[in-house]
Amino acid sequence: MKVGIVGCAGRMGQMLLKTVLATEGAELGGGSEHSLSEHLGKDLSIFSGGEPLGITITDDPRAMYEACDVAIDFTVPMATVSHVQIAAECGTALVIGTTGMDKEQLACVDAAARKTTIVRAGNMSVGVNLLLGLVEKASSILGDGYDIEIIEMHHKHKIDAPSGTALMLGEAAAHGRGVDLDTVSARGRDGQTGERRTGDIGFASLRGGDVVGEHSVIFASEGERIEITHKATSRSLFANGAVRAALWTRGQTPGHYSMKDVLGLE
């Protein structure tokens, strides 16, 4: 399958590019960047360290989508929304790793998924998606007698909080309890907040250094505390999952899928 990389000059984009080149069954079909990028017009080999690939970095995403079977997008919400529309118009599958999307932007993804295959996940890691299942199960068994707190830490350049993975973990915990996360989410405690409300799911976000991604879900009760933690030490695990999802889209009917579908966990 010919795979295109949106934002190919970024840290994640470069990792995705190298992963595509190293993956059997995947072929690099193109790479795009924003119109002010210093890398426009350069051969994609600038990031692969190999021989010239004959594919130049473009600021015309439509041309890239038309040349590819599937594209991978780990950019920012506003850019991703424009890309889902192009993917739908071109009939190109799309894998989305972008986080921080609001309800209106997610509605745009849903609309595009009626015309093409879209896989979207706040985290493409196989380990994290297994973690989601553990959190949901623990939440359903432990019940309201255990307070749930979710702590995440990422590098200082991350622009959204809580992380997409933290929100996924919160959704899993809420689903386990049979509640709506929006009604029990507690964020950004500061000052005289009063006692913790029973049933709340708390979030805390830490930022610093070059941390790839760390997430802990804490179930705290009288006399004991249960902690489930995942630590990512390399972005390669996200890239591997994204490329795996890209190859999975072949032959799939239009729809809005998750990594659970890709991994057969649903």
Looking at residue 264, what is its pLDDT? 85
Query: What is the number of domains present in the chain?
Result: 2
> Mean pLDDT, to the nearest integer, of 178-202?
93
- Does residue 53 sit in the same domain as residue 13? yes
Query: In this structure, which amino acid lies at residue 9?
Result: A
Per annotation, catalytic residue among 42, 115, 158, 175 = 158
Is the separation of the CB atoms in 65 and 92 below 8 Å?
yes
- Does residue 177 sit in the same domain as residue 249? no
- Does residue 88 sit in the same domain as residue 143? no
**Which range among 33-42, 44-53, 109-118, 199-208 shows the weakest confidence by mean pLDDT?**
44-53
Is the separation of the CB atoms in 80 and 105 below 8 Å?
yes
Is the separation of the CB atoms in 12 and 33 below 8 Å?
no
Per annotation, catalytic residue among 83, 154, 215, 256 = 154
Looking at residue 123, what is its pLDDT? 84
Model pLDDT for residues 72-110, shown as the tens digit of each residue: 999 999 999 999 999 999 999 999 999 889 999 999 999
- Does residue 139 sit in the same domain as residue 74? no
- Does residue 140 sit in the same domain as residue 226? yes
Is the separation of the CB atoms in 264 and 248 below 8 Å?
no
- Provide the angle, in degrees to the nearest 10, between the axes of the packed helices 126-142 and 164-177: 30
Residue with tokens 């705290």: 220
Looking at residue 266, what is its pLDDT? 65
Query: In this structure, which amino acid lies at residue 49?
Result: G
Clarify whether 154 is annotated catalytic.
yes
Question: How confident is the prediction for the chain on average, in pLDDT?
Answer: 94
- Does residue 195 sit in the same domain as residue 172? yes
CATH of the domain at 132: 3.30.360.10
> Residue 50: is its pLDDT beyond 80?
no
Clarify whether 155 is annotated catalytic.
no
- Does residue 34 sit in the same domain as residue 109? yes
- Does residue 142 sit in the same domain as residue 195? yes
Nearest CA among 200, 197, 121 for reference residue 163: 121
- Does residue 142 sit in the same domain as residue 211? yes
Model pTM score: 0.78
> Mean pLDDT, to the nearest integer, of 144-160?
95
- Does residue 220 sit in the same domain as residue 250? no
Nearest CA among 84, 143, 125 for reference residue 213: 125
Confidence class for position 235, pLDDT limits 50, 70, 90: confident
Looking at residue 252, what is its pLDDT? 98
> Residue 224: is its pLDDT beyond 80?
yes
> Mean pLDDT, to the nearest integer, of 143-156?
96
Looking at residue 126, what is its pLDDT? 84
- Does residue 110 sit in the same domain as residue 154? no
> 60 CB contacts (<8 Å, ≥6 apart)?
32
> Residue 210: is its pLDDT beyond 90?
yes
Residue with tokens 């950019």: 75
> Mean pLDDT, to the nearest integer, of 115-120?
98
Looking at residue 122, what is its pLDDT? 82
Model pLDDT for residues 170-186, shown as the tens digit of each residue: 999 999 999 999 999 99
CATH of the domain at 78: 3.40.50.720
- Does residue 30 sit in the same domain as residue 91? yes
Range of the domain at 145: 126-232
